[in-house]
Amino acid sequence: MLRRTIRGLVTVGMAACLIGIMPAVAFAHVKVTSDTATQGGYAALTFRVPNERDNASTTKIEVQLPTDTPLASVSVKPHPGWSYEITKTKLAAPIEAHGAQISEVVGQITWTATDSKSGIQPGEYEEFSVSAGPLPNTDRLVFKALQHYSNGEIVRWIQDPSAGGDEPERPAPVLRLVPKGDAASSSSTGTDRVSLAADSAPATGSGVGSSWAVGLSAASLVISLACAATMVVRTRRTR
């Protein structure tokens, strides 16, 4: 009976750890989201940047905007503790927006922490927002991103997620666009709607993500141990 109890304890403990780790996967990648992203319209885009390192903070984020399907108008929302720089790109062929010919568009936005305390600390994430449009008549927009850490490491989120294939190790943020007149006005990011749902969980401050997952895993394991210990004690008493 005691051996069965121990085996049950190990099984339950492993399951609890997996349950706690799974939500952290949703925070693992740089993502772009929008409440409404309809072709031909304007949208507020939010880039969610988690810190994946335990010994370094994220100090700079470079987001490359697509130039094959350019955005004529882009404005950046100021982010406390961070400065931003806009780099423009000259188009090979001008595009028309609101009756005007546009030959130069925003090609990259770089956010930089103003000091060490403003960087994204381990176990935290930040969200950077822009307003952009008109959105092109395409099913998706790919935003390649570079994440800089305080230890000099650069993580390149630039791999194009292939349709129907496995997600690459470093996928670029992808924004799904809704066709004009489509009743489903919300958009999903990446290749997994479950990840977006997990990312949308309410949070207090920015110290969520992996820390929350670790806390849940630890709490589940403690409860499992307590239950197993109770079973052992009762088994001994009945002998």
Render pLDDT for 173-228 as a digit per residue (tens, 0 to 9): 999 999 987 644 444 444 333 333 334 333 334 444 444 444 545 555 555 555 55
How many CB atoms neighbour CB 186 within 10 A?
14
Q: Using the structure block, give the residue that is written with the tokens 């849940």.
A: 216
Q: How confident is the model at residue 218, as a pLDDT?
A: 52
**Is the bond preceding residue 134 a cis peptide, omega within 30 degrees?**
yes
The amino acid sitting at 185 is S
Percent of the chain with pLDDT strictly greater than 90? 54
Per-residue H/E/C for 99-155: CEEEEEEEEEEEEEECCHHHCECCCCEEEEEEEEECCCCCCEEECEEEEEECCCCEE
Q: How confident is the model at residue 225, as a pLDDT?
A: 54
Q: What is the mean pLDDT of residues 114-130?
A: 97
Percent of the chain with pLDDT strictly greater than 70? 62
Q: What is the mean pLDDT of residues 143-155?
A: 98
Helix, strand, coil distribution of the chain in percent, nearest 5: 25, 35, 40
- Distance in angstroms (rounded) separating the CA atoms of residues 220 and 132: 43
Positive or negative: CA dihedral 27, 31, 36, 42: positive
Q: What is the mean pLDDT of residues 152-177?
A: 88
Nearest residue to 70 via CA among 127, 143, 17: 143
Neighbouring C-alpha atoms within 13 Å toward the C-beta of 186: 6
pTM > 0.75: no
Q: What token pair was written down for 187?
A: 């958009």
pLDDT digits (tens, 9 = 90+) for 61-113: 999 999 999 999 999 999 999 999 999 999 999 998 888 899 999 999 999 99
Q: How confident is the model at residue 219, as a pLDDT?
A: 52
- Distance in angstroms (rounded) separating the CA atoms of residues 3 and 222: 19
Task: Characterize the bridge pairing of strands 154-157 and 174-176.
Answer: unpaired
pLDDT band at 18 (very low <50, low <70, confident <90, very high): very low
Name residues whose C-beta falls within 8 Å of residue 105's C-beta, 6 or more positions apart in sequence: 65, 67, 70, 71, 72, 74, 88, 89, 91, 95
